[in-house]
Amino acid sequence: MAKADFISQLTEIGYTVEELGDDKIAFPYEIPAGRFKGQTIKLGFNAPADFPVSSPSGPHLTPHLLPMNAGAPAHPARVADSNFGPEWQYWSRPFLKWAETNKTAKDYMRYIRHLFETQ
C-alpha cells in the first residue's frame, strides 16, 4: 500500500510514474532550478515500505549529471552506482527534515527541487 500511496500522490501532482519492479519507480522530470535547469532527466526512487513514515532515499537519476564519487565521506558529495542499473546514478541525499513536513510526495518533491537548486 505504501508504494501505491506514493505513486498516487506523485500522479496527483502531475508526474507520469512508471513502476520498474520491486520498490522502484521512475518518471520524466524537468529540472526546474540550478545549474541543470531545463534539462529533462528520468528521476527514480525506491518507494519505502513504510511511506509516509519514512521518505524515499535517493534520488536515482539518468543520465548521470554529477561525477561518480562513491567514496565521499559526507552525503552532499556522495554519488554512487544505482541499483536501477548502470546508466543510473544514486545521489545519497537523505531528507533529514522529513519529520517536519506533512510527509507527502509534494513535500518530497520540494526537497528534490532544493537539491537541484543547490548542486
Q: Give the whole-number percent of the chain exceeding pLDDT 90.
A: 77
Hey, is 70 helix, strand or coil?
coil
Query: What mean pLDDT, rounded, does the chain reach?
Result: 93
Its domain, for residue 112, covers: 2-118
Residue type, 14: G
Which of the residue ranges 24-33, 50-59, 99-108 would you say has the lowest mean pLDDT? 50-59
Hey, is 20 helix, strand or coil?
strand
Please count the structural domains in the chain.
1
The CATH number that applies at residue 90 is 3.10.110
* Residue corresponding to grid cell 545521489: 91
Cell of 28: 520524466
pLDDT grade for 73, boundaries at 50, 70 and 90 = confident
Which of the residue ranges 13-17, 63-67, 74-78 would you say has the lowest mean pLDDT? 74-78
Which residues sit opposite 27 in a β-bridge? 43
Sheet containing 60-62: order of strands: 18-21, 24-30, 40-46, 60-62, 89-91, 79-81
pLDDT of residue 82: 95
* Cβ pair 30, 42 in contact under 8 A: no
Going by the DSSP 8-state scheme, the letter that residue 103 receives in this structure is -
Going by the DSSP 8-state scheme, the letter that residue 33 receives in this structure is S
**pLDDT (average), residues 62-72:** 88
pLDDT exceeds 90 at position 51: yes
pLDDT grade for 72, boundaries at 50, 70 and 90 = confident
